[in-house]
Amino acid sequence: MMGADRHKLHEYADREALAEALAAGVGAVLAGGLATRGSAILAVSGGSTPRLFFETLARAEIDWQAVTVLLVDERWVPAGHERANATLVHRHLLQGPAAAARFEPYYTEGLGAPEGAARLSQLFGHLARPIDALVLGMGADGHTASFFPGADRLAEALDPATPRLFEAVEAPGAGEPRVTLTLPPIVEARFLALHIEGEEKRRVLAQAQAPGPWEALPVRAVLRSPRAHPIEIFWAP
Ligand SMILES: O=C1O[C@H](COP(=O)(O)O)[C@@H](O)[C@H](O)[C@H]1O
């Protein structure tokens, strides 16, 4: 698939309708994985956008006990930290029926992000791949996951041939050090969604879909990756 054929845009009148549709899509993919393989893996992003989607998905009536929830990326801050993506997931996704899911926070006391990323690559090395459903967000600077413009290990994290599942990055716009899934486990996900909201991110998406260097807008590396199925882009104003 080439160019825009690689992406399927789903537009909604409001964020509530988007959350319902994305949760229904992800829920159906997880239910399919559970029916076929007896277990399913979901990888989710953090930031401010996914709250409503998480709260809607948490109500899905699936066998959450057999679902592993992973973070696409994490700020290297202790458990319970207000900026931790794990905190967001605990508060808004792992509630009600979804509280039964298996979730393993990434931060490890006493380790820096680089050692943490190496440990996570080992720890999750046994995971059945591909991941069933993976939902990315995007910042107005064109980062997705923790693929930030100017990040010190951006090329390594975006190497399509890297054997590592996780990479540690530091970047001027990232705040604290981060760990992130690398490009391969992201783009090989069975269902890959990009969840963005607002006019500004719509403009950034249009720029990212146009020709230009991936270093400037790292989300391009994901949008340009070859895949069997299109990337499902969910947008609402
Ligand atoms: O730092 C991050 O930002 C992106 C986008 O976040 P948002 O607040 O603009 O929705 C997010 O996808 C990523 O997981 C997170 O670590």
ipTM of the complex: 0.98
* CATH of span 3-236: 3.40.50.1360
Domains of the chain, by residue range, sit at 3-236
CA–CA distance, 190 with 33 (Å, rounded to integer): 10
Q: Which residues line ligand 1 (CB under 6 A)?
A: 45-49, 72-73, 85, 137-139, 146
CA 38 – ligand 1 centroid, Å: 31
pLDDT in tens, 10-55: 999 999 999 999 999 999 999 999 999 999 999 999 999 999 999 9
Residue ranges of alpha helices (H) inside 38-130 are: 51-57, 85-92, 113-123
Question: Residue 37 to residues 30, 34, 71, 156: CA-CA distances in angstroms?
Answer: 10, 5, 21, 32
3-state secondary structure string across 171-202: CHHHCCCEEEECHHHHHCCCEEEEEEECHHHH
Interval 193-237: pLDDT, tens: 999 999 999 999 999 999 999 999 999 999 999 999 999 999 999
Q: What percent of the chain has pLDDT over 70?
A: 98
The atom number, within ligand 1, closest to the CA of 201 reads 9
The angle at the Cα of 198, spanning 196 to 201, to the nearest 5 degrees, equals 60
From ligand 1's centre to the CA of 146, what distance in Å? 8
Report pTM.
0.97
Closest ligand 1 atom, CA of 136? 12
Ligand 1 center from residue 21 Cα (angstroms):
20
What one-letter code names the amino acid at 41? I
Using a 10 angstrom Cβ sphere, with 0-12 exposed, 13-18 middle and 19 or more buried, the burial of residue 97 is: middle
